[in-house]
Structure 1
């Protein structure tokens, strides 16, 4: 099995803001621009429903487990992280790891 996933989740809190139009039209294309060279293959943005602890999430698919650490260390990632306050007043939770199983059903 190859590849890696990064999950970025934005907390659902009283007073939290999230501009989904900006996120989709500006922030995620900015991240893709800088991280494609590190193996970013795709991303999926989800508006989460219910009473869970998160309101929005994105799953980023990288070609290899080394991709996200390389992207995170890229000097251009500062521009991506500096963009967060333009669409949310919450800092996201980021988790990542290698894909160990995948099956289309």
Structure 2
């Protein structure tokens, strides 16, 4: 990782924090359309990669519904301030598309990437 590697984490809560409605999530639309749109918009701003995870429900360790069911992690090669700027400047293009794949607003975090490694190397 370069010294400017930044992660943007976008997590989708298991239920709407206001209404309590359970999360609905259309993974095919999300990966087939929304991620492509985000890549087109954010690529010129330093977005390099993305991956999506779906958490087991119920959680196999606790038997409870996890607080989040889906999470996207996006890797950028720019400082966190630049990621924040890119995200804030794209709300009019990406924001309206969210209702096409989920009924719950995501939670976003931006973090400087720390050390990492590969097991066995």
Fold similarity call, TM over 0.5? yes
Structure 1 moving runs of 4+ over 4 Å: none
The yes-or-no answer on 1:27 pairing with 2:34 is: yes
Q: Give the count of matched residue pairs.
A: 104
Structure 1 window deviating more from structure 2 (22-31 vs 64-73): it is: 64-73
The yes-or-no answer on 1:68 pairing with 2:83 is: yes
Tell me the C-alpha RMSD between the 2 structures.
1.4
8 A Cα contact 2:84 2:110, kept in partner: no
**What is the rounded CA distance, in whole Å, between the counterparts of 2:69 and 2:32 in structure 1?**
18
8 A Cα contact 1:4 1:63, kept in partner: yes
**What is the rounded CA distance, in whole Å, between the counterparts of 1:33 and 1:4 in structure 2?**
18
Structure 2 runs not aligned, ≥5 long: 16-20, 60-64
Instruction: Tell me which residue corresponds to 2:18.
Output: none
**What is the rounded CA distance, in whole Å, between the counterparts of 2:113 and 2:78 in structure 1?**
9
The yes-or-no answer on 1:103 pairing with 2:117 is: yes
Structure 1 runs not aligned, ≥5 long: none
Which SS does the other structure have where 2:83 is aligned?
helix
TM-score (norm 2): 0.79
8 A Cα contact 1:6 1:94, kept in partner: yes
Closer/same/farther in 2, CA of residues 34 and 77 from structure 1, 3 Å limit: farther
Deviation at 1:97, TM superposition (A): 1.4
